[in-house]
Amino acid sequence: MIENGKGNIIGIRIDAVDYKAASDRVVHAARERQPMAVSAVAVHGLMTGVLDREHKYRLNRFDLLVPDGQPVRWALNLLHSAKLRDRVYGPNLMLTVCARASEEGLRVFLYGSTPEVLAGLRTNLENRFPGLQIAGMEPSKFRSLTTEERNDLIGQVRSSGADIIFVGLGCPRQEVWAYEFREALSIPILAVGAAFPFLAGKLAQAPKWMQDRGLEWVFRLTVEPRLWRRYAFLNPAYALLVASQAMGLSHFTTDGIPPPKEASHD
């Protein structure tokens, strides 16, 4: 059953939305200066919440969790008759929101990854959307932030005048970051993962036919063999759990454990 636009997939509440609905909500929140935590969730991100009750608590309090992976979309359709015709792929959602921001004069901030990736990302976004205003960029420190660094970053984003912030720290660090900074920044925070290196042209994307068939993981495994454990264990576990939910053999609660405050992952 879809409740408040969300469907329970093995304990994680995913929004049954398309690109337009997702970008409309982000733009509205940006215009109104409303805090909003958004993430594009594939199997890995969803299973991270299933296996970690603190992270489940975070994810189920996000304002918008979109079905990034085809298997997540398929599960929404199977379990909740969502009738979604396409997934909401993180890199494409980022491009959709940037297009809207360019049209409506909304400023964006880029946070995470490396200076090299950010430079390439900025160049490519500005070439694609000439009217896009990039208010600022800040690379990841690849460690937890100190209290002083956290406060400095909040001040930097606020003073930049940014209306939307994109975060590319990888899963689950970016979701932890979005959860922790949502109220402090009071603007939409979009955790978009590999969108940064993809759109910067630093990491190859799977061909569309593989993406459409849920085979993107095969391509990524050939490009990044270090991810083999993720796919070898999490993908089969996800399929078994979804099948169990579909057959009524298992019921998954959306409860979790409140995490410590301000872990400030980076």
Roughly what angle, to the nearest 10 degrees, separates helices 235-246 and 70-80?
10
Q: What is the DSSP letter of 254?
A: -
The pLDDT, as a whole number, for residue 265 is: 58
The pLDDT, as a whole number, for residue 266 is: 66
Strand order in the sheet with 164-168: 64-67, 36-41, 188-191, 164-168, 107-112, 133-138
The pLDDT, as a whole number, for residue 240 is: 97
- What are the pLDDT digits (tens) for 135-177? 999 999 988 899 999 999 999 999 999 999 999 999 999 999 9
pTM here is 0.92
More confident position, 57 or 260? 57
The pLDDT, as a whole number, for residue 263 is: 54
Q: Across-strand partners of 165?
A: 109, 189
Report how far residue 45's alpha carbon sits from residue 19's, in angstroms, rounded to the nearest whole number: 19
Q: Say if residues 176 and 52 touch (Cβ distance below 8 Å).
A: no
More confident position, 227 or 143? 143
CA distances to 17, 75, 81, 100 from 5, in Å:
8, 15, 12, 23
The pLDDT, as a whole number, for residue 262 is: 57
Report how far residue 173's alpha carbon sits from residue 193's, in angstroms, rounded to the nearest whole number: 9
134 contact partners, CB below 8 Å, separation of at least 6? 107, 108, 109, 110, 122, 125, 126
- What are the pLDDT digits (tens) for 87-129? 999 999 999 999 999 999 999 999 999 999 999 999 999 999 9
| Per-residue pLDDT band at 244 (split at 50, 70, 90) | very high
